[in-house]
Amino acid sequence: MGLAAKIICKTAGVAGMSAVVYDAYARGKKQSARTSLNESADTFESVIAAERTTSSANPTTVALQEKVANFRMNNPISAIFGRVKGFFTGVVNSVVDNVVPVICSSMALAGKGRTAKAGVWGLGIYGVYKVLYDGFGIGKENPMGK
């Protein structure tokens, strides 16, 4: 394999991996915010439910329950946990969805000779498919046509 072919293969591999990593980061960031809000909402719901169901009319118990509820509502741990959980979920889902470009990019980067060329061809074919399918809608079922 000539020098030009090696450069093309490595460049295509880096471009493919860059697109996958960018997509994974963007999806992780979006999922992070969504999961954080869900975790905060779940915490809010459980705190309000616990606060509204006082087991005693004792003023000391009510005051204690209010203090614990305020602590739980202002505690950022559930939101932080939700952000981390959401980010990793989004990244993993994105990588799983983009398994074809990951494999082809890896072949183009790490492979030699025919393996690297096969990775570049795979990236090219997959790219054309995505443009035609997602960009122009060729092959998609029209939801309005039924």
Domain layout of the chain by residue ranges: 3-133
What's the pLDDT tens digit per position in 16-51? 999 999 999 999 999 999 999 898 888 888 888 877
What is the amino acid identity at position 114? R
What is the Cα Rg of the chain in Å?
A: 25
pLDDT, residue 49, reads 80
pLDDT of residue 146: 63
Q: How much is the pLDDT for 45?
A: 87
Q: According to the model, what pLDDT value does residue 76 have?
A: 84
With contact defined as beta carbons under 8 Å apart, do 47 and 69 qualify?
Answer: yes
Residue 73's CB is within 10 A of a number of other CB atoms, namely 14
CA end-to-end span of the chain: 51
Q: What is the pLDDT of residue 131?
A: 94
Residue 85: CB atoms within 10 Å = 16
Q: Decide if 1 contacts 112 (C-beta within 8 A).
A: yes
Instruction: Supply the pLDDT for residue 59.
Output: 84
CA distance 2 to 106: 19
- The pLDDT value recorded for residue 133 is 93
Q: What is the mean pLDDT of the chain?
A: 90
Contact between 33 and 87 under an 8 Å Cβ cutoff? The reply is no
> CA nearest 14: which of 116, 113, 90, 93?
116
Which pLDDT value is given to residue 46? 84
Structure tokens belonging to residue 14? 């880096």
Helices (H) and strands (E) in the chain, counts: 5, 0
Q: For the chain, which residues score pLDDT lower than 50? A: none
Largest Cα span, the chain? 84
